[in-house]
Amino acid sequence: MDSILVTGNGPLNGQIPIAGAKNACLTLMPATLLSEEPLTLTNAPRLSDIKTMTALLQSLGAEVSSLQDGQVIAMSSHSLTSQTADYDIVRKMRASNLVLGPLLARFGQAVVSLPGGCAIGARPMDLHVEGLEALGAEVELKDGYLHAKAPGGLKGAVHQMRFASVGATENIVMAATLAKGTTVLKNAAREPEIVDLVECLRKMGAQISGEGTPTIEIQGVDRLHGATHQVVTDRIELGTYMLAPAICGGEVELLGGRMSLVESFAAKLDAAGVSVSETEGGLKVARKNGRVRAVDVVTEPFPGFPTDLQAQMMALMCTAEGTSVLEERIFENRFMHAPELVRMGAQIEVHGGTATVTGVERLKGAPVMATDLRASVSLILAGLAAEGETTVSRVYHLDRGYEHVVRKLEGVGAKIERIKGQ
């Protein structure tokens, strides 16, 4: 297994290009199942999760080709051979469950393995099932698989979700595009990736309104046609790299960044003493003066502070002046980066869903282990600011969600290299 060696090397300066959003692409790709005409995505990120979704769609009989070094994904689901998403693929990536809604809507049936838990939590699918049942589907759990069917087709309905689940919103919205009649989805998730999905579905002929608000209305149509869609910028990669000059000093411009994608995150950085300003090409980030100040963080559904940036923000707070309280309200076990940061000299106490961080002047480099996607990059951020060398092992987690990390950080002056595993 590869590892990444980072050596604290002072302030960072320059530009970092931000890729298309992993979590938008992972819901846009299954949308191809809704139509027999081709769907092409541009600005796609080059990530192992995208390869996993490609393999899943191909296992269903879809044609998926990756062009222009992976930045374009051309898909066609003209003739599928299966409506079953196997456990061996789904267990690797929870987002595989996003084929459920589209398969059910187009074919009236789907068999999708339950993803099983993952490092950050149990991650059940009850909210997905409740929404699809509201549209008239019959869903049964058998041998670890969800067997869903809607022989007479799905019917529009009014449905209030108990929690604003991102994936459940995506599955229900995609299913409702081909249901008979009108669906009103209440307490829907408002993430930019959902707005991006709806914009793509609308290009395919779907009749949808209200995306980005808690109430999304979908008028079912008989069929959807093909389209070409550019994947929205990745707000989590953007936020992650905004923290690089925040933790190291210097000034970095994030190309393709937009303030509207990271409003609550940028406000927290401002309160901590980090300036974020819009430029022609994106967002410019710099520490206002010296050491950042400790701020408190509570993770919430969009537009609140993103849970996917909690680990990275914790790394910054480990070097802040004062004490910060980070409350993780979305997942039940998303502090696995904390013990690894403590190995680097951080002062962190975790009690349930709350971590209390007392900032230290300087972290010390140490060998640490990545435990999940966002934890892995929080350790790299800590290593950029630490004294000496930090080796982050198990970087396969990193490859799921960050393309060309070494190249992007080297480009702004970081001392970082990837060490091939034996």
Supply the residues annotated as catalytic: 118
**Does 19 participate in binding ligand EPZ (rule CB under 6 A)?**
no
51 near ligand EPZ, rule: CB under 6 A: no
Considering the rule CB under 6 A, would residue 116 count as an interface residue with ligand EPZ?
no
Q: What is residue 36's three-state secondary structure?
A: coil
**Residue among 24 and 363 whose Cβ is closer to ligand EPZ:** 24
157 binds ligand EPZ (CB under 6 A): no
How many angstroms from the chain centroid is the CA of residue 301?
12
> Least CB distance from residue 186 to ligand EPZ, whole Å?
16
Which is nearer to ligand EPZ, 308 or 403 (by Cβ)? Answer: 308
Q: In the complex with ligand EPZ, which residue's Cβ is closer, 3 or 240?
A: 240
CB count within 10 Å of CB 126 equals 11
Number of residues binding to ligand EPZ, judged by CB under 6 A: 24
240 binds ligand EPZ (CB under 6 A): no
Residue pair 75/40 in contact (Cβ under 8 Å)? The answer is yes
- Min separation Cβ 118 and ligand EPZ, Å: 8
Q: Considering the rule CB under 6 A, would residue 94 count as an interface residue with ligand EPZ?
A: yes
Smallest separation (angstroms) from ligand EPZ to the CB of 372 = 7
Residue 58: in which H helix or E strand, if any?
A: helix 48-59
Residue nearest to ligand EPZ as judged by C-beta position: 167
Out of 284, 374, 394, 408, the only residue in the binding site for ligand EPZ (CB under 6 A) is 374
Q: Which residues contact 263 (CB under 8 A, 6 or more apart)?
A: 303
Q: Which of 19-27, 83-91, 279-287, 313-321 is the region at the interface with ligand EPZ (rule: CB under 6 A)?
A: 19-27
Identify the bridge partners of residue 7 per DSSP, sorted by sequence position: 389, 415
Q: Should residue 331 be labelled a site residue for ligand EPZ when binding is judged by CB under 6 A? A: yes
Q: Applying CB under 6 A, does 123 fall inside the site for ligand EPZ? A: yes
Beta bridge partners of residue 139, listed in sequence order:
148
Phi, psi of 75 (to 5 degrees): -130, 150
- 218's tokens: 């979908």
| Residue with Cβ nearer ligand EPZ (34 or 330) | 330
Q: Which residues, numbered 163-222, are part of the site for ligand EPZ (CB under 6 A)?
A: 163, 165-168
Name which of 156 and 239 has its Cβ closer to ligand EPZ: 239
For ligand EPZ, the binding residue among 10, 121, 144, 281 (CB under 6 A) is 121
266 Cβ contact partners less than 8 Å away, ≥ 6 residues apart: 242, 259, 276, 283
Q: Residue 29 interacts with ligand EPZ (CB under 6 A)?
A: no
Q: Which residues contact 176 (CB under 8 A, 6 or more apart)?
A: 105, 135, 154, 156, 183, 185, 218, 220
Residue 337 makes contact with ligand EPZ by CB under 6 A = no
Asked whether the beta carbons of 30 and 110 are under 8 A apart, the reply is no
Does 141 help bind ligand EPZ (rule: CB under 6 A)?
no
Q: What is the SS3 assignment for 347?
A: strand
The least CB distance from residue 174 to ligand EPZ, in Å, is 13
Please name the amino acid found at residue 328: E
Task: Please state the closest distance from residue 74 (CB atom) to ligand EPZ, in A.
Answer: 21
Choose among 263, 213, 233: nearest CA to 25: 233
- How far is it, in rounded angstroms, from Cα 392 to Cα 396? 11
Return d(Cα 270, Cα 276) in angstroms, integer.
7
Q: Which residues touch 89 (CB under 8 Å, ≥6 apart)?
A: 52, 55, 56, 59, 96, 113
Site string for ligand EPZ, 251-290 (x = CB under 6 A): ----------------------------------------
Residues in 379-418 that interact with ligand EPZ by CB under 6 A: 401
Annotate 150-188 with DSSP letters as a single string: -TT--B--EEE-SS--HHHHHHHHHHHTTSBSEEEEES-
Query: Which spans of this chain sit near ligand EPZ (rule: CB under 6 A)?
Result: 22-23, 26, 94-95, 121, 123-128, 163, 165-168, 307-308, 330-331, 373-374, 401
